Structure 1
Amino acid sequence: MKHFVQKLATLAITSALLAAAPLSQAHEYKLGQLEIGHPYARATVPGQPAAGAYLSIENKGSAPDRLVSVSSPVAKSGEIHTMAMEGNVMKMRELDGGLEVKPGQKITMQPGNGYHLMLMGLSKPLQAGEKVPATLTFEKAGKVEVTFNVEDRNAAAAGKDDMKDMKGHMHH
């Protein structure tokens, strides 16, 4: 009996995970051979001049491409940044010439490591639950319109907080 219950529990968890999967899958964009996944931006506080924005880019083609710019109506400018440890100091700098995505490569931007986008000179604070339109420009593939979902600063990028968060946004 115990074995059966265990199997049942595993089955329930698996189907719950499968049911949740399409939710996160829906937020993707295709541009030629490039796939852009789950663009999101961090909520900001009043007076904060810039917001970090994140997404993943996968190159399914056979030629490299590069993200050369990002722009959004809510910001004066967009920049592509890299973060690297230099000694014990985290240095953030703008990438000259954009971000190359090699064939077969997937770059996943996350807070606190590697690459991210900065929306500079915000016209107003970004609030959790908002959707921010943006245009990504690639050297070869051209332009694609995406929507950054603004997420709470404290929420994990993708985790148990997502479901809790969604419930919270239902009554607005």
Structure 2
Amino acid sequence: MKLNALTLAALLAATPALAEIKVMDAYARAASPTAKSGAAFMQIMNDGAEEDRLIDAASDAAARVELHTHKDLGDGVMKMMQVEEGFAVPAGGMHALARGGDHVMLMGLTGPLEQGATVSITLTFEKAGEMVVEVPIDNERQDHGAMDHSKMGN
């Protein structure tokens, strides 16, 4: 079948532009070598013309993987909680998953998160679909504003 320029232009106009998602500066860590949970952090860039949303994450490294954030309850008390609606990634912008804020929570680790190894995490976006990211483990990385996960009951 031969497509002329007009037909091709009509097909392209009818096809929604997908978000162009890139993941940068990703790393995962556990609070200790025997921790039952860990977390992954990254910068999610959207070079597309439409907003997208990170709606799910999965990994064989944990029994359960959830999108989490921290909520300030006042009086210096922070609560970690699941964000079922996910995280918006604005068109032409970025959303940071960072310690003390939004992150991918790995609960019921299937093995230790060993320094220098990697963990495979599948991120699912509303428009861009699934993206597998190989995330390096960096238990030594120091970030300002980090929340201590070692006291979490996960």
TM-score (norm 2): 0.74
Task: Supply the AA of the counterpart residue of 2:89.
Answer: V
**Whole-angstrom CA distance in 2 between matches of 1:111 and 1:97:** 19
Q: Quick check: 2:33–2:114 contact (8 Å CA) kept in 1?
A: no
Segments ≥4 residues shifted beyond 2 Å:
43-47, 154-157
Task: Supply the AA of the counterpart residue of 1:137.
Answer: T
- Runs of at least 5 residues in structure 1 that lack an aligned partner in the other structure: 1-30, 158-172
Among candidates 117, 137, 146, match of residue 133 of structure 2: 146
Residues 73-98 of structure 1, C-alpha deviation per residue, up to 9 Å, x if partnerless? 11112111111322121121110221
Q: Percent identity?
A: 38
Find the residue that maps to 2:102 and give its secondary structure.
strand
Partner of 1:71: 58
Among candidates 29, 43, 52, match of residue 56 of structure 1: 43
Among candidates 55, 67, 85, match of residue 80 of structure 1: 67
Q: Quick check: 2:57–2:67 contact (8 Å CA) kept in 1?
A: yes
Among candidates 87, 90, 105, match of residue 118 of structure 1: 105
- Runs of at least 5 residues in structure 2 that lack an aligned partner in the other structure: 1-17, 144-154
**Whole-angstrom CA distance in 2 between matches of 1:67 and 1:116:** 11
Structure with the larger helix share: 1
Q: Does 1:136 align with 2:123?
A: yes
Report deviation, 1:44.
Answer: 4.6
Q: Does 1:102 align with 2:90?
A: yes
Q: Does 1:37 align with 2:24?
A: yes
Q: Quick check: 2:19–2:49 contact (8 Å CA) kept in 1?
A: no
Task: Supply the AA of the counterpart residue of 2:142.
Answer: A
How many residues were matched structurally? 125
TM-score (norm 1): 0.67
